[in-house]
Homo-oligomer: A and B are copies of this chain.
Amino acid sequence: MSVFTTVTPDQLRVWLANYSVGSLTDLQGITAGIENTNYFVTTTQGRYVLTLFEKLKTYELPFYLNLMAHLAEHGIPSAHPIASRANEYLGELNGKPAALVGFLPGKDLARVGPAHCGRVGALLASVHLAGQSYSAVMENPRGPRWWAAVMPEILPFLGTDDAVLLREEVRFQAGHRLPDLPRGAIHADLFRDNVLFQGDAVSGIIDFYFACTDALLYDVAITVNDWCVDEEGALDAPRADALLEAYRATRPFTASERGAWPVMLRAGALRFWVSRLYDFHLPRAGELTHAKDPDHFRRILRQHVARARELAA
- Which residue of B23, B80, B122, B133 contacts A86 across the interface (Cβ within 8 Å)? B133
A87 to B249, CA, bound (A): 22
Inter-chain contacts of A46 with B (CB < 8 A): 75, 77, 201
- In this complex, the interface size class of chain A, counting residues with CB under 8 Å from chain B, is 35 or more
Q: A238 at interface (Cβ–Cβ under 8 A)?
A: no
Q: How far is the CB of A69 from chain B (nearest CB, A)?
A: 7
- Which residue of B82, B127, B133 contacts A73 across the interface (Cβ within 8 Å)? B82
- Which residue of B83, B86, B102, B122 contacts A22 across the interface (Cβ within 8 Å)? B122
- The reply to whether A85 and B123 contact each other, CB–CB distance below 8 Å, is no
CB-CB nearest in chain B for A118:
B44
A122 to B249, CA, bound (A): 45
- The reply to whether A21 and B75 contact each other, CB–CB distance below 8 Å, is yes
A72 to B81, CA, bound (A): 10
CB-CB nearest in chain B for A135:
B87
Given A20-B129, A45-B126, A126-B45, check contact A82 B86 (CB 8 Å).
no
Q: A250 at interface (Cβ–Cβ under 8 A)?
A: yes
- The reply to whether A45 and B77 contact each other, CB–CB distance below 8 Å, is yes
